[in-house]
Structure 1
């Protein structure tokens, strides 16, 4: 799954006109379906790539944080921005940001509300790659095609293990890893992968 914005930027934040007209109900109307969508993206087996250009601010940056892999164009600007509107964050930012950069750095980004560059985002681990703007589409497509040919069920298991690991003890995580591995061991993809290894060939995964 590729998340990207049309026009000048990835996403500059929520619809402030709607929030201005009816702040409380507007927030509920925006966040309820958006939160449901984010949970679906996190739970699905397919990897989620964010292709980012222009600006990723407010909920736009929150969406970036929730992706599994992020490619940003040079010149992209990031800003959590919520504090500049007098509100706390949403769309999973308070869950994802401390896990990526640590609590102290997350608080600096959140409390100061300052813009930062794609290079800053790369240094902080908020994006995986920064590419020239002219190469953004091709770099994203190449990654998406590579992932699309992979073992879908194993991707999902890996995503869920990684996301849950911080909230589990080591024994709990070891048990979860065992369960996931045993489940994957019963798939067609695992059998294909093992056979390809022995045949010294590239595996042909089918997502089952």
Structure 2
């Protein structure tokens, strides 16, 4: 397990990496040391072959309050430079998590705002505690969206809803978040960790290369012409057929469970 003094805990057990945002005294708000630690954790998750699934959650009552407003308030005229460095490091971490060839589960244990909102939405599967709610928050302090929120929201809920969510800063409760497609499923607060662990165990035994390829296909599909996407699907399928599919088909024909961890 990593040192939590940076604001990030990373624990790897049985192929599952659990990243915990761990500055509960400030709502897990992001400062530069925390952003750097998140980048380190994301880089390990992306490059360590022993890690097959990643879970991201927060410690305490909030998932993540976004950027550290205390840091911003003390920056004075250096605010543009401070935010540029903070966001650049944070964005590198977000890109690693988005592009890694492994499934990402986000367990939203409480309210998520600003950069915390975008982190929550980053998961392939997003389990939301019933007490969680979501707010863009940027406009309230004269800033604009970061962490990929302006990219994620239109794809999840459509442009018109995304415009309203970002421009009005209104709070979206868990029930509405599920109804409009922001989250995958709502879970009672007391069972969130258990349900997340069950899901991670299921994903860690899955064909990782195939899931990584599926992530990439879905991620790029909005910016790819239909015929181009068809060709990418063909190439992806051929690559899978030369790898994990052999174990999957052999297991199916032998009427046994597949072992993709050794494929």
TM range (shorter): over 0.9
The alignment status of 1:107 with 2:160, answered yes or no, reads no
Q: Separation in 2 of the partners of 1:68 and 1:153?
A: 15
Q: Separation in 2 of the partners of 1:207 and 1:90?
A: 39
Q: Separation in 2 of the partners of 1:198 and 1:85?
A: 60
The residue that corresponds to 1:203 in the other structure is 258
The residue that corresponds to 1:158 in the other structure is 214
Q: Separation in 1 of the partners of 2:73 and 2:99?
A: 33
Structure 1 residue aligned with 2:122, among 66, 89, 102?
66
Q: Secondary structure at the residue paired with 1:159?
A: helix
RMSD, aligned CA:
1.1
Q: Separation in 2 of the partners of 1:44 and 1:54?
A: 25
The alignment status of 1:168 with 2:224, answered yes or no, reads yes
> What are the equivalent positions in structure 2 for 1:55-204 lying under 5 Å apart?
55-187=111-243, 189-204=244-259
| TM-score of the pair, normalised by structure 1 | 0.96
Q: Separation in 2 of the partners of 1:156 and 1:107?
A: 30
How much has 1:21 moved relative to structure 2?
2.3
How much has 1:184 moved relative to structure 2?
1.1
Q: Is the 8 A contact 1:153 1:207 kept in 2?
A: no
How much has 1:207 moved relative to structure 2?
6.1
The residue that corresponds to 1:5 in the other structure is 58
How much has 1:135 moved relative to structure 2?
0.4
Q: Which runs of 5+ in 2 are unaligned?
A: 1-53
Relative contact order, higher structure (CA 8 A, sep 6+): 1
> What are the equivalent positions in structure 2 for 1:23-34 lying under 5 Å apart?
23-34=79-90
C-alpha distance 121-207 of structure 1, shift in aligned 2 (>3 A): farther
The residue that corresponds to 1:36 in the other structure is 92
Q: Which runs of 5+ in 1 are unaligned?
A: none
How much has 1:150 moved relative to structure 2?
0.6
Q: Is the 8 A contact 1:151 1:207 kept in 2?
A: no
Q: Secondary structure at the residue paired with 1:3?
A: strand
| TM-score of the pair, normalised by structure 2 | 0.77
| Deviation readout 1:119-147 (Å, 9 max, x if unpaired) | 11100111111011110010000000100
Q: How many residues align?
A: 207
The alignment status of 1:54 with 2:110, answered yes or no, reads yes
Q: Separation in 1 of the partners of 2:133 and 2:161?
A: 18
Q: Separation in 2 of the partners of 1:129 and 1:151?
A: 23
Q: Secondary structure at the residue paired with 1:71?
A: strand
How much has 1:82 moved relative to structure 2?
0.9
Q: Separation in 2 of the partners of 1:66 and 1:137?
A: 18
